[in-house]
Amino acid sequence: MENILEIKNLDLLFKNEEQYNQALYNINLCFEKGKIHSIVGESGCGKTMTAMSIIRLLPKNAIIKNGEIIFNNENILNYKESQLRNIRGNSIALIPQDPMTSLNPLYTIGDQLIEAIQAHSKVSERQALRKAREVMDMVRISDADKKLKFYPHEFSGGMKQRIIIAMALACNAELIIADEPTTALDVTIQKQIMDLILDIKNEFGTTVILISHDLALVSNYSDTITVMYSGHIVEQASAKEFFKNPKHPYSIALLNSLPTTNPSLKLKTITGAPPSIEEKISGCKFHPRCDFCEIGLCDVQNPVLEEKTSSHFSACLRF
Which H or E run contains 127?
Answer: helix 125-138
* Per-residue model confidence (pLDDT) at position 243: 95
* Per-residue model confidence (pLDDT) at position 236: 97
CA dist., res. 15 & res. 66, Å (int): 15
pLDDT in tens, the chain (319 residues): 789 999 999 999 999 888 899 999 999 999 999 999 999 999 889 999 999 999 999 999 999 999 999 999 999 999 998 888 888 878 999 988 776 778 899 999 999 999 988 887 788 889 999 999 999 998 888 898 899 999 999 998 888 988 988 888 888 889 999 999 887 778 888 888 899 999 999 999 999 999 998 898 899 999 999 999 999 999 999 999 999 999 999 999 999 888 777 777 777 888 888 999 989 899 999 999 999 999 999 999 999 999 999 899 999 998 7
Parallel/antiparallel/unpaired status of strands 224-229 and 36-40:
parallel
Computed from CA positions of residues 36, 42, 44, 46, in that sequence, does the dihedral angle turn out positive or negative? negative
pTM listed for this prediction:
0.92
CA dist., res. 148 & res. 220, Å (int): 32
Long-range contact set of residues 289-293: C-beta below 8 Å, sequence gap at least 24? 289/250, 289/253, 290/249, 290/250, 290/253, 291/249, 291/253, 292/249, 292/316, 292/318, 293/318
How many CB atoms lie under 10 A from the CB of residue 154?
12
CA dist., res. 151 & res. 136, Å (int): 15
DSSP per residue over 86-97, as a string? HHBTTTEEEE-S
* Per-residue model confidence (pLDDT) at position 23: 95
The SS3 of residue 258 is coil
* Per-residue model confidence (pLDDT) at position 60: 92
Parallel/antiparallel/unpaired status of strands 207-212 and 74-75:
unpaired
Angle made by CA atoms 23, 211, 201, in degrees to the nearest 5: 140
Helix axes 187-204, 157-170, angle to 10 degrees: 10
The SS3 of residue 310 is coil
DSSP per residue over 208-251, as a string? EEEEES-HHHHTTT-SEEEEEETTEEEEEEEHHHHHHS--SHHH
CA dist., res. 239 & res. 204, Å (int): 21
* Per-residue model confidence (pLDDT) at position 63: 94
